[in-house]
Amino acid sequence: QVQLQESGPGLVKPSETLSLTCTVSNYSITSHYYGGWIRQPPGKGLEWIGSLYHGTPFYSPSLKGRVTMSVDTSKNQFFLSLTSVTAADAALYYCASHDSVSGNIDTWGQGILVTVSS
Amino acid sequence: EIVMTQSPATLSVSPGERATLSCRASESISSNLAWFQQKPGQAPRLLIYDASTRPTGISARFSGRGSGTEFTLTISSLQSEDFAVYFCQQYKNWRPLTFGGGTKVEIK
């Protein structure tokens, strides 16, 4: 069974870049891995950030070009970079995998809480 | 952007009763809809995909129906572990993928 685990700093300063890593277990990812990121402010709903699917990145337009995702197959990891963070970016960040055929999200990591503060 | 609207926001149900949750898309998404369950302090869990398909290991108490713009998730005979928040998500249009606001199923 595929397992996902987020890692990264829990605290980021305003205007800096948030960088998160998702480590995939029990599955060897390729450069066309079907992974994504979703976030959830405490007590609120789910917001999709972006996904890589069949080698193509899809990003939320609401994040206005601040998002980049990438993959390192040698480490079985994929990454999220979110630039110019503000307090509005504070949330629980989840990495997830998509089904390669139907496209739906099928597996989630446990999440990592990110605070934005100076 | 496809807007997903869930109703009601909160559903109060007694254990053993049936719960029916609704999700509406602002335009047709065919059957490209998933339902997730989220309990406090936990990540969401996939319950239904392709509108009506249960992944392996998901109880038959959970069933999904619908296509186009109207979808329902039914939980038959609610158990204590079913009290949670439920989200729907469309994956017809990836620019962007969108979630509903969630329905909280609470004990009546």
Residue A42 at interface with chain B, using a CB cutoff of 8 Å: no
pLDDT value, residue A64:
79
Distance of alpha carbon A41 from alpha carbon A37, whole angstroms: 14
Contacts across the A-B interface (CB distance below 8 Å): 64
Contacts of B42 in chain A (CB under 8 A): 110
Which residue among B36, B96, B102 sits closest to A48, beta carbon to beta carbon? B96
Residue A43 at interface with chain B, using a CB cutoff of 8 Å: no
Q: Residues of B near A (CB-CB distance < 8 A)?
A: 1, 32, 34, 36, 42-46, 49-50, 55, 87, 89, 91, 94-102
Token representation of residue B96: 């962007």
pLDDT value, residue A33:
86
Contacts of A47 in chain B (CB under 8 A): 99
- Which residues have C-beta within 8 Å of that of residue A67, sequence separation ≥ 6? A49, A50, A59, A60, A80, A81, A82
pLDDT value, residue A54:
83
pLDDT value, residue A100:
87
For residues B67 and B90, is the Cβ–Cβ distance under 8 A?
A: no
pLDDT class of B92 with cuts at 50, 70, 90:
very high
Integer-rounded Cα radius of gyration of chain B:
13
CA distance B46 to chain A (A): 6
pLDDT tens per residue across all 118 residues of chain A: 899 999 999 999 999 999 999 999 999 998 888 999 999 999 999 999 999 988 889 999 999 799 999 999 999 999 999 999 999 999 999 999 999 889 999 999 999 999 999 9
Query: Could you identify the residue written with the tokens 């909280």?
Result: B104
